[in-house]
Amino acid sequence: MNKAEKTRQFIVEKTAPIFNEKGYTGTSLNDMTNATGLTKGSIYGNFANKDEVAMASFDYNMQQVQQLIRQEVSRETTCKNKLLAYVKVYDQFLKYPFPAGGCPILNTAVEADDTHPSLKQKASDAFHTWKDAIAAIISKGITTREFHAHTDPEQAAVTMIALIEGAIMISKLTGKLQYKKTILQSVEKLIARL
């Protein structure tokens, strides 16, 4: 990495948690300069505008989440346990180096759905990547007869994601972690019925 690439990476690493917690609209230039210790000119000398920083920050946050999940999924040998690894990560996300503010897909989707088409697209792409990964595990489980032949991999994947994201949202909204645990138990039951 050259100096410019290192500076860009530094800016992203320092601002990614802020964008994930405060959102695009809530993150100010002052937040970015305070987090990095750089001047406005230094930040905008490396990025054209706030949009570019936000987009790079979303990518960085997603890479952190995907790396955690890949790590846990790769430890498992059965398709069922690979799916349960998702539940484990989201149930115990405080144990993992999860991005500050929680799930970047949920945070970005809620804020950007009507306000920021580019960020909305990034969140949508991340959702599809996640859905496809889960559906691939389910398809493999059908092939190996671990799951029922009549299982619809895409429907099951979308349902799993909806339950996981809903669990996070409700838990954050109410401050009650037991709601998250209750909903994640429903994910476990869904996986058991596949």
pTM flag (> 0.75): yes
Domain residue spans of the chain: 58-193
State how far the Cα of 151 lies from the Cα of 39, in Å rounded to an integer.
Answer: 54
Instruction: Give the residue-averaged pLDDT of 30-45.
Output: 95
State how far the Cα of 62 lies from the Cα of 117, in Å rounded to an integer.
Answer: 18
Structure confidence at residue 114 (pLDDT)? 83
3-state secondary structure 119-170: HHHHHHHHHHHHHHHHHHHHHHHHHCCCCCCCCCHHHHHHHHHHHHHHHHHH
Structure confidence at residue 97 (pLDDT)? 75
Summarised one tens digit per residue, pLDDT across range 48-100 is 999 999 999 999 999 999 999 999 999 999 999 999 999 999 988 767 777 88
Identify whether the C-beta of residue 62 lies closer than 8 Å to the C-beta of residue 105. Answer: yes
Summarised one tens digit per residue, pLDDT across range 88-118 is 999 887 677 778 888 999 999 988 888 889 9
Structure confidence at residue 70 (pLDDT)? 95
Strand, helix or coil at 2? coil
Q: Which CATH superfamily is domain 58-193 in?
A: Tetracycline Repressor, domain 2 (1.10.357.10)
Instruction: Give the residue-averaged pLDDT of 12-29.
Output: 95
CB proximity list for 111: less than 8 A, separation 6 or greater: 23, 24, 25, 119
Structure confidence at residue 94 (pLDDT)? 66
